[in-house]
Amino acid sequence: MTSISANLQAVRARVAAAATAAGRHPDEVMLLAVSKTWPVQRVAEAATAGQRMFGENYVQEGVDKIVALDLPGLEWHFIGPLQSNKTRLVAAHFDWVHSIDRLKLAERLSAQRPADLPPLNVCIQVNVSGEASKSGVAPAEVAELAAAVAALPGVRLRGLMCIPEPDGDEALLRERFASLRRLRDMLNAAGLELDTLSMGMSHDLDLAIAEGATMVRVGTAIFGARTVREG
């Protein structure tokens, strides 16, 4: 089995190559290692190999890893759907939330962020594919939600996130990513200061980087194929 260290090296090289091909500096793209469902030992192995940013989809599993590892310099991102009854745990333990899709969530995170911690970095999840089964706010509703979230204390609106449908159509995927970039640019033109486009995963990060991704969320290419989680 390939080591996590070797996998990380390969993914970083792929990210750098994609950035260079797009006329961008590799440092413009951050690598978020999606560690959901993987045990603490595997996450620790990635941290030993120099990885600092980790993404979790399940609140309690993520909190357990944060507490168990307690390593300086690690940054924890919540990237999955968030239920209102779990916001307090997320506000207390995570550094980022990528999946804001309604104002109520942002308001709860804002109110529950401990005063001794820096503002919680948040991204609005946009349903760029219009899939009924997928979380995220409709593109037409992003501007109103972004303005409201940006005004909240305790959180800092950093950017937008999307998960397009993986249908194998590269041209369509690029357009989905491009649409998120255009939304970000529109919001910035309206006076917001957003610096983050969280888009692209193991199978499509090259396309996302070509369209402006500043953060790619990679799990399989780093940790390997995961077992399907039930429940």
| 56-78 tens-digit pLDDT | 999 999 999 999 998 889 999 99
* Residue-wise pLDDT tens digits, 155-198: 999 999 999 987 778 999 999 999 999 999 999 999 999 999 99
Pick left, alpha or beta for residue 194 (phi over 0 → left; psi -120 to 50 → alpha; otherwise beta). beta
DSSP notation for the chain: ---HHHHHHHHHHHHHHHHHHTT--GGGSEEEEE-TTS-HHHHHHHHHTT--EEEESSHHHHHHHHHHH--TT-EEEE-S---GGGHHHHHHH-SEEEEE-SHHHHHHHHHHS-TTSPPEEEEEEB-TT--TTS-SB-GGGHHHHHHHHHT-TTEEEEEEE------S-HHHHHHHHHHHHHHHHHHHHTT----EEE---TTTHHHHHHTT-SEEEESHHHH-PPPPPP-
Is the whole-model pTM more than 0.85? yes
Q: Is the pLDDT of residue 231 over 50?
A: no
Q: What's the CATH class of domain 4-223?
A: alpha beta
The ranges assigned to domains in the chain are 4-223
Query: What is the predicted pLDDT for the residue at 227?
Result: 60
Structure confidence by residue, pLDDT tens digits, 92-140: 999 999 999 999 999 999 999 999 999 999 999 999 988 777 789 999 9
Q: List the structure tokens of 14.
A: 């792929």
Alpha-carbon distance 88 to 85, whole Å? 7
